[in-house]
């Protein structure tokens, strides 16, 4: 399998982390410990079978709020060793404490990550000047390219268009995971900067491509990865009919994976497929029987049925 990626992501690349990226869940053992063998198996499946160009580790879908700094570092090391020669590994390092975020960025770089995902500081709701200071401080302290994660419905704060444009002046801030759901704002940033935008909402992948995004950082792509990549490649080839057909076919799973918190249903679906997942850590709770049944229905509707 070929991957259209530079050896090291850089600002000159139109898609610095490829097209298809999955925010990977963190497999745990039955007693809730980190499952490193499972992480290697799952990462290999996502890269070799689902066609991912990159993986995000230690994001929210990776249950970063409940994994320790040491667990985060270990996970990066083993996954980089397993698949880092054929996919980019992007480490989630964002917190609502700039100093801690800088520490996690240094840890991830030392562990071999190829890039960083830095989410908007949450709960303390900094002003736009504080956001600019936060992201540029991380970029100043690290040698890795950074993907800014704009997801205001979780963090409580949207990154303003002017702030993103100012961030783009920093040579290591190269991309945005865009989960704002505002394609007009996305369009204005793309018109005023050379940031690479990755859609952060699975169901908006095709509309986001239409305004200039280069790919997706997905959750349902644990299951829809190969087809989502086909959608992106069809759009890029000008085959809009195929792209639209795939968008509509995958819509039940693009949206269905979020009927509960995404990681809950991803882990339930992976377990049904015999892939590593394990339980979620509190305060999350594992999928109920009814939730798994609905997930089966959504997968079937998308043409990707789960094994019985």
Report whether the peptide linkage leading into residue 300 is cis, meaning its omega lies within 30 degrees of zero: no
Only one residue has tokens 């100043």, namely 140
Kindly list the catalytic residues.
149, 177
CA-closest candidate to residue 262, choices 181, 186, 179, 182: 179
CA-closest candidate to residue 213, choices 190, 239, 233, 242: 190
How many whole angstroms separate alpha carbon 126 and alpha carbon 145?
23
Q: Which helix (H) or strand (E) holds 158?
A: none
Tokens describing residue 16 = 């610095």
Contacts of 27 (CB under 8 A, 6+ apart): 34, 35, 38, 39, 41, 42, 276, 277, 278
The DSSP annotation for 197-263 comes to: EEESSGGGHHHHHHTT--EEEESTHHHHHHHHHHHHHHHHTT-HHHHHHHHHHHHHHHHHTTSS-HH
Beta strand segments in the chain, E: 20-23, 54-57, 88-92, 115-119, 146-150, 173-178, 196-199, 215-218
CA-closest candidate to residue 193, choices 209, 169, 176, 214: 169
């Amino acid at each position: 399998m070929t991957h259209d990626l530079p050896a090291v992501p850089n600002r000159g690349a139109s898609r610095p982390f490829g097209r298809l990226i999955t925010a990977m869940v963190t497999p745990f053992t039955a007693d809730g410990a980190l499952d490193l063998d499972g992480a290697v198996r799952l990462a290999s499946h996502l890269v070799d079978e689902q066609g991912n160009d990159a993986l995000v580790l230690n994001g929210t879908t990776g249950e970063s709020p409940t994994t320790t700094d040491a667990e985060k570092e270990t996970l990066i090391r083993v996954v980089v060793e397993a698949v880092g020669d054929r996919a980019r590994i992007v480490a989630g390092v964002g917190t609502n404490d700039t100093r801690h975020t800088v520490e996690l960025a240094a840890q991830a770089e030392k562990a071999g990550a190829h890039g960083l995902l830095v989410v908007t500081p949450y709960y303390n709701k900094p002003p736009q000047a504080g956001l600019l200071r936060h992201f540029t401080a991380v970029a100043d302290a690290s040698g890795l390219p950074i993907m800014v994660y704009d997801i205001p419905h979780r963090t409580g704060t949207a990154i303003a268009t002017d702030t993103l444009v100012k961030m783009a002046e920093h040579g290591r801030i190269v991309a945005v995971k865009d989960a704002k759901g505002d394609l007009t704002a996305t369009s204005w940033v793309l018109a005023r900067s050379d940031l690479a935008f990755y859609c952060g909402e699975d169901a908006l992948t095709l509309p986001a491509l239409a305004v200039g995004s280069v790919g997706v950082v997905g959750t349902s792509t644990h299951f829809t990865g190969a087809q989502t990549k086909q959608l992106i490649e069809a759009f890029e080839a000008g085959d809009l009919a195929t792209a639209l057909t795939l968008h509509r076919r995958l819509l039940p799973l693009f949206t269905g994976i979020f009927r509960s918190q995404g990681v809950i249903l991803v882990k339930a679906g992976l377990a049904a497929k015999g892939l590593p997942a394990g339980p979620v850590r509190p305060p999350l709770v594992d999928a109920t029987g009814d939730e798994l049944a609905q997930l089966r229905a959504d997968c079937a509707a998308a043409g990707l049925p789960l094994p019985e």
